[in-house]
Amino acid sequence: MSEQVLQARPATVDAEEFFSRSRARLGFDVPPGLIDPNIVPRTGDSGNDRMLEIVAQEQPVRPAAVLIPVVDHPEPTVLLTQRTEHLSSHAGQIAFPGGKIDAGDASPMDAALREADEEVGLKREFIEPIGYLDVYGTAFGFRILPTVARVKPGFKLTINEYEVVDAFEVPLAFLMNPENHQIHTKEFRGIDRSYYAMPFAERYIWGATAGILRVLYERIYLA
């Protein structure tokens, strides 16, 4: 596996400006690419986009929703989970709380909030949804719509051990610093596919999670 650090300007936005920019730049209009099979999501990662063009021809659209929980500490953090090894998709990986959108969910945001409660016991009264990012596609055929949210500290988590083995927080400043946005490569059907990775201590944040964090950086810090 090869790697390189993607060069871009450092993130200098403080917490209040981060939330202010998020409210100004995000909304709750659901992108048509979440369910339209004729629209292939563009992630901004050329290697991932090439892979999605292949996957989109083979698998039906599977809409999913995740929550990007930014905890409003004096130095904000992002709450992440580590999935169990037996799950059928993204097993063992670092992830946002989230999953498939059910028929009973009123919206992708409601699906993300429900999943956050079911997976780690993060209750809605602590969560202030801010808006959606763009749809992000994965090699498993999921089209993920992330909801960015401000989370009030003081919550107590209850881990659903069937789905999640751990939940932990990573400083927002680390995740939004492009010096920590590495590009790794591995083979996908005989083609070298690139993907983002943001290793943090012993945690290997990569794939869709790192890619979504990169999209968040570009929308809030570069736009």
More confident residue, 12 or 184: 184
**What are the extents of the domains in the chain?**
3-35+44-222
User: If pLDDT is split at 50, 70 and 90, which confidence band does 13 have?
Assistant: low
Q: Quick check: 161 pLDDT over 70? A: yes
Dihedral sign for Cα 45, 47, 107, 128, please: negative
What SS3 state is found at 100?
strand
Interval 60-82 mean pLDDT: 93
CATH class for the domain made up of 3-35+44-222: alpha beta
d(CA 30, CA 199): 31
Q: Which tokens sit at 120?
A: 């780690």
pTM of the entire predicted model: 0.88
Confidence of residue 139 (pLDDT cuts 50, 70, 90): confident
From the list 192, 194, 198, the residue with the least C-alpha distance to 213 is: 198
- Indicate the pLDDT class of residue 11, thresholds 50, 70 and 90: low
Res 125: pLDDT:
97
